[in-house]
Amino acid sequence: MTAGLVRGLAVLALLATASYSAALLTPRRELGLDTPRLVALIPERFGSWAAEPTTVLPVLLVPDVLADAEASQTESYDDVLMRTYRRTDGARVMVALAYGRRQTQELKIHRPELCYYAQGFAVSALGARSVQLDSGRTVESRALLTENRSRTEIVTYWIRVGERVANDAWDIRWTIFRDGLDGRVPDGLLVRASSLTETAAGAEHELVLQHEFLADLYGALPVVTQRFLAGHEVVL
Amino acid sequence: MTVGSTIVLPGGLATARGSGAMWWPVVAGLLVLYLPTYLDLDAVYWARENGAPGIVVVAIWLWLVWRARAALQTQRRTRAGSVAGWLAIVTGAALYALGRSQQLFQLEVGSQLLIVPGIVLVLLGPAATRRLWFVWAFLAFTVPLPGSLIDSLLVPLKEFVAAAVTDVLFFAGLPIARDGVVIYVGPYQLFIADACSGLNQLVALAAIGVLYVHVAAHKARMHSVLLLASIVPVATIANVLRVTTLVLATYFGGDALGRQLHDYVSYAEIAVAFGTFFVLDHALTAWRRLRLRRSAA
């Protein structure tokens, strides 16, 4: 055997080791539910809220809208729920949930900033807001002001990745990476609440309304579903 | 030097004709690593919208290797080169394992840029590795842009395309308006999808353009620089033309016609972009000749 062939075989051994290590390191334990069925998880009535037929066209949960709007959502997610709720005093909140059973670096929840932008809205950030879900649980959310020629929509959202909430693109990537090294494939859920306002000045009022809606919803859910919505990271 | 002769070098390392047999385990190893990678790339990236660029880049790369086959025959190994080579292979292998297992495609695909030249360093030595720098560098075109980067590139690119198309057609008298990246023309509402940004075609033209400039090896540096600088504007203008055509087709021929034309117009765009690029090259050559003749006269 020539020295060249020995070196060639050594290269092969190294490359085969790399391939085998990659297979060993690949996360296999999936955190996601098999069939979440958002329709069944989120009640149509709770507290003073009741779902009603949607009157305005909700912004889709994907940035790239295909000819068939429905298809472009089901292609990206394992389950999607879009509803409008009306409170007994007449206030309305639109809610949109998008669930992905497996989150990976290149296949994950689309952030609402991009979805609104791609659907013709000008988007400006209103910053990070804590939502008090109940006495023991707050969740970090993002608030957005979105406008197009026919409406102004205020948005609150958060994204749960695995057990924690991560709203920043790098935080999401980091969470997926960390879970992956632990052998876990996290699932992902986008929780988006939004409402229409006449002017941008009404933004704070709408955000308060959305936080009330989210807290009321959270309070009406069993613990399992609460965790499904907001994760169960222990905050000290 | 005659092929097959052996000259003893000071370091005790030999210059020899590379033995063909040593390449078989290497090729097998590369296939084990990267065949799954390319299949995934095909499924995740290339299959979306216009997937052609990826396959074309690989084909071109194989052609570049074949073109360089003479340089792959000479072996002149050095100890430093071997150390660097093994280091590159081991680092690349680690990046590959991390990237492939955690679906970090940029690490997984990018590991080629260490492993492939590393192997050549180990087997043939630094001289051959340096001579073929372009072949290794060209592999960079197979690395997909990360989604987050694409998003931040797409936003201004889509906005620009939407604005340019709307302005042109508005001045041409069409009832057209836009909200960000959504165009309203007559009764139709058109989304500037990611594919319409022309980013894929831009990357494809960049790959072909860089290759062309390298292979043509123009003596005048200015010629090459101008050609490379023309890649972005040429691809952008071709893309604006494409989207304008689609908007016109939808407006005059209806939604169905617009959709029908969608794919054909993409191919036309690539043809227009490449055509313009090559015409530009010829124009530059003609202009240089003209100047030479003038200065001679």
Assembly ipTM? 0.84
Question: Is the predicted pLDDT of residue B76 greater than 50, yes or no?
Answer: yes
Of A49-53, B188-192, B199-203, the one with minimum mean pLDDT is B199-203
Chain B residues with CB inside 8 Å of A105's CB?
Answer: 102-105, 146-147
**Contact state of B19 with A169 under an 8 Å Cβ cutoff:** no
3-state secondary structure of A14: helix
Residue B92: closest C-alpha in chain A = A18
Q: Quote the DSSP letter at residue A201.
A: G
Min Cα–Cα distance to chain A from B195, Å: 9
- Residue A15: in which H helix or E strand, if any? helix A3-25
Min Cα–Cα distance to chain B from A227, Å: 25
- Which has more confidence, A32 or B127? B127
**Contact state of A8 with B193 under an 8 Å Cβ cutoff:** no
What's the pLDDT band for A177 if we cut at 50, 70, 90?
very high
Q: For B1-19, what is the mean pLDDT?
A: 43
Cβ under 8 Å to A: B residues 191-250: 191, 193-195
> Would strands A184-185 and A164-165 be described as parallel, antiparallel, or unpaired?
unpaired
Identify the pLDDT of residue A50. Answer: 96
Question: Is the predicted pLDDT of residue B14 greater than 50, yes or no?
Answer: no
Question: Is the predicted pLDDT of residue B16 greater than 60, yes or no?
Answer: no
Of A113-117, A147-151, A175-179, B18-22, the one with minimum mean pLDDT is B18-22
Cβ under 8 Å to A: B residues 24-53: 24-26, 28-30, 32-33, 44
> Would strands A184-185 and A29-30 be described as parallel, antiparallel, or unpaired?
parallel
Q: Which long-range contacts (CB under 8 A, 24 or more apart) does A144-148 make?
A: A144/A112, A144/A113, A144/A116, A145/A200, A145/A203, A146/A59, A146/A116, A146/A121, A146/A122, A147/A121, A147/A122, A147/A200, A148/A120, A148/A121, A148/A122, A148/B179, A148/B180, A148/B182
Question: Is the predicted pLDDT of residue B57 greater than 50, yes or no?
Answer: yes
**pLDDT above 90 as % of chain A:** 66
Which sign does the torsion angle of CA A164, A157, A97, A102 carry? negative
Nearest CB neighbour to B179, from listed A148, A173, A181: A148
Q: Residues of B with catalytic annotation?
A: 196, 242
Chain B residues with CB inside 8 Å of A12's CB?
Answer: 25-26, 28-29
> Would strands A184-185 and B182-185 be described as parallel, antiparallel, or unpaired?
unpaired
